[in-house]
Amino acid sequence: MIYKTAVLAEHERGVLLRDQTVIDLVGPGRHRWLDLRNRLRLEIFDTDRVVMDSNWANRIMRQHADLAGDDFILVRPDAGQLALIMLDGAPYAVVTHGMSRAFWTVMHDISVEMIELAEADRLDPRLADRWAIAAGHAITKTTVGTREAGLLYVDGELREQLAPGRHAFWAADRAVRMEVVDLRETALDVVAQEVLTKDRVTIRLNLTAFTRVTDPMVRATRLSDADGHVYKLIQFAAREAVAGRTLDVLLRDRVEIDREITDHVRERLAETGMAVSDLRIKDVILPGDMREMLNKVVEAEKAAEANLIRRREETAATRSLLNTARLMDDHPGLMRLKELEALERLTEKVGRIDVHQTSEGAGLPALLDTLMGRSTAENA
């Protein structure tokens, strides 16, 4: 007689086969089988490895479900379900629809929680942190800042707007994407725009617009490229405003043109979830020859203004001198005061004055009369 024997440890289990057909699930201990035709074979598994070959599990569960007992469990989620596998109370694995996984329950405590995605697609961010490693791409997380808004897309459909904070969603068996939108004001530069004025002068414009998102949901549904859309609107508005004006008018009415362009862009953005708080022409760049001509014109204008101001000042000075002379004629004492002021200014520049008495008795009075241009006869 031919016998086959096997000894299994506490952590081992064996699948007994006859002609590749499962006939028994063998536990620990010493085993002996009669095998006259050498048709028996024993596959031994280490249950400390937790994960069991799912092909064997499928064969046992389908053909010999009574053999499984409490040695292992087979997890096969249905459509719209997600299975969370806990190993000794800690997250271990996530099984999604379309997958089939088996776990040994001999040496470890294995628990399974089934999640209905249609009813519980959102999960607590702290729970998402615990399951992040085990779940992999089955969990999608994001953080929305204070001055931001989040947009949730499920299978390409815009589902909802997310408030500031942490958010996490199950992404198994569907495509989940979250977009974070900045609600703060941003500067958009529109540079080197070549435009032909009404008098056929080609100029280049640099403009700056300050934009912000007012309604993220509307912007996402109306605009595919918000910045590009605003950029094009500013281009068209600037061309329309400049093409109807001559160069002189353009340079003179910059404020009015800024207001016209801003109103045009605001009107086009009224129902797009975008707004422009301010829009202005930053630079007007002229061709080289035109710039030289304008510089000459400005130089001539400034020279004329300077000449006019100089003539006005000379006229005012002459008028003041004439008024002073008339006052001196009418008031001799005022003339005497002016003489004394002139003498005082003169003596400030003289370090020393020596006055000598002459034989005729002329002294300081005579010297003063001489300095002031008065004759002796006049003094008499």
- The pLDDT of residue 77 is 92
The pTM for the full model equals: 0.66
- The pLDDT of residue 113 is 92
379/376 Cα distance (integer angstroms): 5
Looking at per-residue confidence, does 268 or 352 come out higher?
268
Output b/e per residue, 209-227; b: 16+ Cβ within 10 A: bebebebbeebbeebeebe
**Which residue pairs from 247-254 have beta carbons closer than 8 angstroms and sit at least 24 positions apart in sequence?**
247/197, 247/199, 247/201, 247/203, 247/286, 247/290, 249/198, 250/197, 250/203, 250/284, 251/284, 254/281, 254/284
Among 118-132, 159-173, 209-223, 358-372, name the one with the lowest average pLDDT.
358-372
pLDDT average, residue stretch 128-133: 92
47, 10 Cβ separation under 8 angstroms: no
- The pLDDT of residue 330 is 74
- The pLDDT of residue 372 is 56
Looking at per-residue confidence, does 217 or 117 come out higher?
217
Task: Tell me whether residue 205 is exposed, middle or buried, using C-beta atoms within 10 angstroms of its C-beta: 0 to 12, 13 to 18, 19 or more.
Answer: buried
Among 75-79, 242-246, 330-334, name the one with the lowest average pLDDT.
330-334
pLDDT band, very low/low/confident/very high, at 331 (cuts 50, 70, 90): confident
pLDDT band, very low/low/confident/very high, at 148 (cuts 50, 70, 90): very high
Name the nearest CA neighbour of 283 among 253, 254, 246, 314.
254
pLDDT at 84 over 90: yes
Looking at per-residue confidence, does 357 or 91 come out higher?
91
